[in-house]
Amino acid sequence: MQRRGRSAKEYARYGYRLLRGAFFRRKVDHGGRMLRVCGPVRVSKTRSARLIIGSRVILHRHTGFFLDSAEAVIEIGDHTFLNRRSEIMCKRHVKIGSHCAISWDVTITDTDYHVLEGSETTLPVVIGDHVWIGSKATILKGVTIGRGAVVAAGAVVSKDVPARTLVAGVPARVVRENVSWSL
Half-sphere exposure of 55 (CA within 13 A, CB side): 1
Annotation says 114 is catalytic: yes
Q: Catalytic one among 79, 93, 114, 130?
A: 114
Element (H, E) at 12: helix 8-24
Rg (CA), the chain: 17
Q: What are phi and psi of 64, to 5 degrees?
A: -130, 140
Instruction: Report d(CA 133, CA 64) in Å as an integer.
Output: 16
Q: Which value, to the nearest 10 degrees, does the dihedral of the CA atoms of residues 144, 155, 69, 24 take?
A: 100
Catalytic residue numbers, as ranges: 114
